[in-house]
A and B are shown apart, each in its own frame.
Chain A
Amino acid sequence: MGAGREVSISLDGVRDKNVMQLKKLNTALFPVRYNDKYYADALASGDFTKLAYYSDICVGAIACRLEKKEGGAVRVYIMTLGVLAPYRGLGIGTRLLNHVLDLCSKQNISEIYLHVQTNNEDAINFYKKFGFEITDTIQNYYTNITPPDCYVLTKFIAQTKK
């Protein structure tokens, strides 16, 4: 870093006033245009969706959806997690994911899962570091990209006992 200073990383929520930042990120990061439901879910998830700021520049985001399981328990689905290419390797993705994991344990949510393309080894390894495991494979999950298959990665969080 210039002058040896650490650059600060901070998280901020997504609101209707700044949702375009998330859209900009997604345009740059992912080969898919997300529809309105994606953004509605992200806004509805509250603190589970966050933008990451690197010295006041928005460079990454995690977007989650809260799902009701049968029996009323809530589980978290990570819709997207990404950081702009030049800003990778600075711990921003870790920071975002840890934020959501912390939030899960605070709110006694026991299950968090996501989909990942089967050839995306970097991603799979990344999530494994955080205790995610491959729990399922779905054939022909994607329509426009190859391979079309995806894994389901899930992490079960031990309940904090009170």
Chain B
Amino acid sequence: MGASLPPKEANLFKLIVKSYETKQYKKGLKAADAILKKFPDHGETLSMKGLTLNCMDRKSEAYELVRLGLKNDLKSHVCWHVYGLLYRSDREYREAIKCYRNALKIDPDNIEILRDLSLLQAQMRDLTGFVETRQQLLTLKPNHRMNWIGFTVAHHLNSNASKAVEILEAYEGTLEDDYPPDNERCEHGEMLLYKISLLEECGSLERALEELHKKGSKIVDKLAYKEQEVSLLVKLGRLEEAAELYRVLLAMNPDNYRYYEGLQKCVGLYSENGRYSADEIDKLDGLYKSLGQQYTWSSAVKRIPLDFLQGDKFYEAADNYIRPLLTKGVPSLFSDLSPLYDHAGKLHFAVMIQADILEKLILELEHSIRLTGRYPRRTDKEPPSTLMWTLFFLAQHYDRRRQYEIALTKIDEAIEHTPTVIDLYSVKSRILKHAGDLAAASALADEARCMDLADRYINSECVKRMLQADQVVLAEKTALLFTKDGDQHNNLHDMQCMWYELASGESYFRQGDLGRALKKFLAVEKHYADITEDQFDFHSYCLRKMTLRAYVAMLKFQDRLHSNAYFHKAAAGAIRCYIKLHDSPSKLATEEDDEMSKLLPSQKKKKRQKLKRAEARAKREAEVKNEESSASGVSKSGKRHVKPADPDPNGEKLLQVEDPLLEATKYLKLLQKNSSDSLETHLLSFEVNMRKQKILLALQAVKQLLRLDAENPDSHRCLIRFFHKVGSMTAPVMDTEKLIWRVLEAERPSISELHEKSLIEANKFFLEKHKDSLMHRAAVAEMQYVLEPNKKSDAIKLIEDSANNLVPVNGALGPVKGWKLKDCIAVHKLLETALTDHDAASRWKVRCVDYFPYSTYFEGKCSSAMPNSVYNQIGKNHENGSASLPGGGKIADSVASNGKLEAFKELTI
């Protein structure tokens, strides 16, 4: 490096490199300028100066200098390397790889460049390239442990586990017998475990087990050792030994559900869907009874039997499980038991389902405690709080069963009993949310929040409720209470607080503020890009630290990162925004035009100038702010800390995209790649491609929908809409069009939902199949209107004739009707917008008010939308948990009832 320079300048050049590595950029810059004074065209110096400037936030100068340097010295590997580093710093990995390759052409054995290249290849999953580079590194420096390990991991990632094993064994061959020294034992143990997992992966189970036993003494992580051993034994079918080992593991941790599951598998008592024969249930019961005697302090061993027991045995076990937890006061008890409420569909209808048994059981407990202060058949008196926790459980139980009226009675009684328990208010908030009163739910959550201002969880819960109630400004203020410096909510963005951004985006979307909604959704998308980016540092770190199993698991996690639920929500949200933007283009602009057209020309001119001035001012302010922040940041440590002010805080620029559907397609592709089993993905794909007139892609979406769930009302909608649209197209003219038609002709018969049926027939057929379901009827009605617009009244009648029947429980009719609030709202919107029949919508609303008295949407009589509701005075919550002002009479009552010992009224103020 710097070879072409005389000795004095060559030393200076070395100083630049050293300064860069030690982050003393100013010093480096001085040295570079000193060389350039004498040799203004020296390529490598120009490059290094550029690289240094890049670290001082002078990006454009950096690129200019680095490119100039390269131009002056194309044969220098330093210049190419620097160019690569510059691209890498901007995350342009493909370009960076190209530069490194050029550098290596000039200096093929440069270890630094090879290492940098290998990191990029791992990051970009260029696996063949990664293998090659790691091989070269090993050949060059075979005495470095890291190079052996790197080569191994490369082969493993490139799906060649057996080769990876060979390399590790070759590496082990280079080690002395007394290896490892004391300070390397953990690393060596990790390497051995990694090797055994590789053997397991390529199916050499016997060898893996043998190796495990042989090297056992050198493996430090004893728990991982045992878990690996048991996994191998199970795979080898040596179930008795495996069962023994699971018992050993259980003795170490009797609350690990995976060990219980493993043990059940070993003794042949495991079923994927949780269904067992009577005989199996008896055996399982016996197994868990004996385990329970061994692990008396385990809660898992008591909880798991509730999943498979039935009838009286379930009753007894649940009773034993629940009583001490209600006595102790475990707020999470209901969440713990809530999976039992999903069993309804799984069991034979003659069997009383577990949720019903639980209801009976808890009601008995409640009754007994109320009457005697004791549990049934017990002599010990319960503490007073047991009644409150029992009511708390019952409230959640009835909430889950959609009996909101009773749920609210129970929770109100609990609050009356002990008004200081925060969980009671949170649950009441949740019940109100489910019942359809989001504003009241938000008020209750806020009441809960005020009771402990130091609790971030209830603060967050409150923020979420506020967003659900579309109180975005309030939500933002509340969220800020827990960010560090209370600085704007940028802070929430920096913390990657995605639930907040998603909920906020959804709220803005509901309110029609597409700019802000997009801003939030895209922010989440950005977090995922950052998470992908975050793995970069681990490519070198993990090889050095030998945390190989964790490293490979992390890479696999990264490979399916975008299938994560939050990403799915964000992408779907963004796509919906873009679709809406496409359907009603630049609403903002048209509104503005309307306003303008009302004005006189002179006024218009004035107004425009005013707008322009305001814009310019805002821009200047933002710039000044940026400069200030970067100046103060730089002066401290040479590195910028303060982020520049957001130039587009309201997402207005995001709305000005040329082609919203093109943007949507970007995110759609990610969804299709990573969430191909989600109905929503293909529904969105259908909507986007229909709008883009991409017939075949829309067909593909329809086929995917039918594959996933042909009985879903939305799948049906897409199917009918698609072929209806195709049927209305003009005959093909162009070759490509003809081709499309031929594909459609070939595909249509293969769709079993259509066969030879006309669309009208297919629609009727679908109705016959699902005539008891509201949502299916609604879909059929909508499609009927699409197919035969002249028969609108028939379509509306179809919806209005739907019956809201009681849901049967234990063969008898239960107390709950089948329709869900969310569905009824959807139908109302359908009547209003798709079928555009305001009268029918009003009739529907009148009907639903009865079903959903707490719904603000339908203005139910108990909801906060009504002036006489108890929740309408939200914010002035004087009475505990009811957000209303208490009347004078009530006060007198409470005095009377408080007239016992120790309720004293010292009323001086």
User: Are A30 and B384 in contact, CB atoms less than 8 angstroms apart?
Assistant: no
User: Are B906 and A2 in contact, CB atoms less than 8 angstroms apart?
Assistant: no
CA distance A116 to B375 in the complex (A): 38
Chain A residue contacts of B904, Cβ below 8 A: 80-82, 114, 116, 120, 123, 126
A109 contacts partner chain B, Cβ-Cβ < 8 Å: no
Chain B residue contacts of A54, Cβ below 8 A: 383-385
User: Are B453 and A25 in contact, CB atoms less than 8 angstroms apart?
Assistant: no
Chain B residue contacts of A81, Cβ below 8 A: 902, 904, 906
Query: A-facing mask of B317-356, CB < 8 A → 1, else 0?
Result: 0000001100111000000000000000000000000000
Our pick among B418, B894, B899 for the contact of A86 (Cβ within 8 Å) is B418
| Minimum CB–CB distance for A45 against chain B, Å | 14
Return the chain B residue nearest A88 by Cβ. Answer: B902
Chain A residue contacts of B909, Cβ below 8 A: 32, 34-35, 37-38
Our pick among B381, B451, B453, B903 for the contact of A83 (Cβ within 8 Å) is B903
A-B contact count (CB 8 A): 156
B822 contacts partner chain A, Cβ-Cβ < 8 Å: no
User: Are A1 and B897 in contact, CB atoms less than 8 angstroms apart?
Assistant: no
B900 contacts partner chain A, Cβ-Cβ < 8 Å: yes
Return the chain B residue nearest A61 by Cβ. Answer: B420
CA distance A145 to B891 in the complex (A): 10
Majority DSSP secondary structure for residues of A touching B: mixed
CA distance A1 to B329 in the complex (A): 13
User: Are B420 and A84 in contact, CB atoms less than 8 angstroms apart?
Assistant: yes
Our pick among B421, B879, B906 for the contact of A80 (Cβ within 8 Å) is B906
Chain B residue contacts of A18, Cβ below 8 A: 451-454
Chain B residue contacts of A88, Cβ below 8 A: 900-903
User: Are A24 and B453 in contact, CB atoms less than 8 angstroms apart?
Assistant: no
Our pick among A4, A57, A93 for the contact of B329 (Cβ within 8 Å) is A57
Chain A residue contacts of B903, Cβ below 8 A: 29, 82-83, 85, 88, 122-123
CA distance A66 to B905 in the complex (A): 19
B878 contacts partner chain A, Cβ-Cβ < 8 Å: yes
Interface size of A by CB at 8 A reads 58
A79 contacts partner chain B, Cβ-Cβ < 8 Å: yes
Task: Tell me whether A28 and B880 are in contact in the complex, defined as CB-CB below 8 angstroms, given that A20-B451, A114-B906, A115-B908 are known contacts.
Answer: yes
Query: A-facing mask of B858-886, CB < 8 A → 1, else 0?
Result: 00000000000000000000111000000
Question: Quick one: which of A121-140 are within 8 Å of B by CB?
Answer: 122-123, 126
Chain B residue contacts of A116, Cβ below 8 A: 904-906
| Minimum CB–CB distance for A39 against chain B, Å | 11
| Minimum CB–CB distance for A129 against chain B, Å | 11
Return the chain A residue nearest B420 by Cβ. Answer: A58
User: Are A1 and B383 in contact, CB atoms less than 8 angstroms apart?
Assistant: yes
| Minimum CB–CB distance for B364 against chain A, Å | 16
A21 contacts partner chain B, Cβ-Cβ < 8 Å: yes
B371 contacts partner chain A, Cβ-Cβ < 8 Å: no
Chain A residue contacts of B452, Cβ below 8 A: 17-18, 20-21
Return the chain A residue nearest B879 by Cβ. Answer: A27
| Minimum CB–CB distance for B689 against chain A, Å | 54
User: Are B382 and A31 in contact, CB atoms less than 8 angstroms apart?
Assistant: no
| Minimum CB–CB distance for B12 against chain A, Å | 60
Our pick among B382, B383, B905 for the contact of A117 (Cβ within 8 Å) is B905
Chain A residue contacts of B329, Cβ below 8 A: 55-57
B387 contacts partner chain A, Cβ-Cβ < 8 Å: yes
B380 contacts partner chain A, Cβ-Cβ < 8 Å: yes
Our pick among B878, B891, B902 for the contact of A93 (Cβ within 8 Å) is B902
User: Are A27 and B421 in contact, CB atoms less than 8 angstroms apart?
Assistant: no
Chain A residue contacts of B906, Cβ below 8 A: 78-81, 114-116
Return the chain A residue nearest B904 by Cβ. Answer: A123
User: Are A85 and B878 in contact, CB atoms less than 8 angstroms apart?
Assistant: no
A16 contacts partner chain B, Cβ-Cβ < 8 Å: yes
User: Are A1 and B380 in contact, CB atoms less than 8 angstroms apart?
Assistant: yes
A156 contacts partner chain B, Cβ-Cβ < 8 Å: no
Chain B residue contacts of A57, Cβ below 8 A: 329, 385, 388, 418, 420-421
| Minimum CB–CB distance for A21 against chain B, Å | 5
User: Are B895 and A31 in contact, CB atoms less than 8 angstroms apart?
Assistant: yes
Interface size of B by CB at 8 A reads 45
Chain B residue contacts of A120, Cβ below 8 A: 899, 904-905
A14 contacts partner chain B, Cβ-Cβ < 8 Å: no
B175 contacts partner chain A, Cβ-Cβ < 8 Å: no
B417 contacts partner chain A, Cβ-Cβ < 8 Å: yes
Chain A residue contacts of B900, Cβ below 8 A: 85, 88, 122
| Minimum CB–CB distance for A52 against chain B, Å | 10
Chain A residue contacts of B327, Cβ below 8 A: 2-3
| Minimum CB–CB distance for A47 against chain B, Å | 19
User: Are A87 and B384 in contact, CB atoms less than 8 angstroms apart?
Assistant: yes
CA distance A114 to B451 in the complex (A): 28
Question: Quick one: which of A75-115 are within 8 Å of B by CB?
Answer: 77-90, 92-93, 114-115
A33 contacts partner chain B, Cβ-Cβ < 8 Å: yes
Our pick among A2, A30, A55 for the contact of B907 (Cβ within 8 Å) is A30
Chain A residue contacts of B879, Cβ below 8 A: 27
User: Are B899 and A122 in contact, CB atoms less than 8 angstroms apart?
Assistant: yes
User: Are A24 and B420 in contact, CB atoms less than 8 angstroms apart?
Assistant: yes
B292 contacts partner chain A, Cβ-Cβ < 8 Å: no
Return the chain A residue nearest B378 by Cβ. Answer: A2
Chain A residue contacts of B382, Cβ below 8 A: 1-2
A59 contacts partner chain B, Cβ-Cβ < 8 Å: yes
Our pick among B388, B451, B895 for the contact of A145 (Cβ within 8 Å) is B895
CA distance A37 to B908 in the complex (A): 11
Chain B residue contacts of A16, Cβ below 8 A: 453
CA distance A145 to B909 in the complex (A): 15
CA distance A140 to B403 in the complex (A): 50
CA distance A120 to B895 in the complex (A): 11
CA distance A86 to B453 in the complex (A): 26
B853 contacts partner chain A, Cβ-Cβ < 8 Å: no
User: Are B419 and A24 in contact, CB atoms less than 8 angstroms apart?
Assistant: yes
CA distance A24 to B450 in the complex (A): 10
Our pick among B328, B880, B902, B907 for the contact of A27 (Cβ within 8 Å) is B880
Return the chain B residue nearest A53 by Cβ. Answer: B420
CA distance A121 to B421 in the complex (A): 30
User: Are A32 and B907 in contact, CB atoms less than 8 angstroms apart?
Assistant: yes
User: Are B420 and A32 in contact, CB atoms less than 8 angstroms apart?
Assistant: no
Chain B residue contacts of A38, Cβ below 8 A: 909
Return the chain A residue nearest B896 by Cβ. Answer: A31
CA distance A82 to B904 in the complex (A): 6
CA distance A3 to B324 in the complex (A): 8
Return the chain A residue nearest B450 by Cβ. Answer: A20
CA distance A122 to B898 in the complex (A): 11
Return the chain A residue nearest B888 by Cβ. Answer: A144
User: Are A141 and B907 in contact, CB atoms less than 8 angstroms apart?
Assistant: yes
| Minimum CB–CB distance for A27 against chain B, Å | 5
User: Are B898 and A29 in contact, CB atoms less than 8 angstroms apart?
Assistant: yes
Task: Tell me whether A115 and B898 are in contact in the complex, defined as CB-CB below 8 angstroms, given that A55-B383, A87-B384 are known contacts.
Answer: no
CA distance A81 to B902 in the complex (A): 7
Chain B residue contacts of A73, Cβ below 8 A: none
Chain B residue contacts of A78, Cβ below 8 A: 906
CA distance A108 to B245 in the complex (A): 66
User: Are A84 and B419 in contact, CB atoms less than 8 angstroms apart?
Assistant: yes
CA distance A56 to B389 in the complex (A): 13
CA distance A85 to B324 in the complex (A): 23
Chain B residue contacts of A28, Cβ below 8 A: 419, 880, 894
User: Are A59 and B418 in contact, CB atoms less than 8 angstroms apart?
Assistant: yes
- Could you show 21 A-B contacts with beta carbons less than 8 Å apart? A1-B383, A2-B382, A2-B386, A17-B452, A20-B450, A20-B452, A24-B880, A32-B907, A37-B909, A57-B420, A79-B906, A81-B902, A81-B906, A84-B420, A85-B897, A86-B387, A88-B901, A114-B906, A115-B906, A115-B907, A123-B902
Known: A57-B329, A60-B902, A126-B901. 11 other contacts (CB 8 A): A2-B375, A2-B386, A24-B451, A30-B905, A58-B420, A93-B901, A93-B902, A120-B899, A122-B901, A122-B902, A123-B905
Which A residues fall within an 8 A CB radius of B? 1-4, 7, 16-18, 20-21, 24-25, 27-35, 37-38, 54-60, 77-90, 92-93, 114-117, 120, 122-123, 126, 141-142, 145, 150
Closest 8 CB pairs of A and B: A2-B327, A86-B384, A93-B902, A58-B420, A123-B904, A17-B453, A17-B454, A31-B891
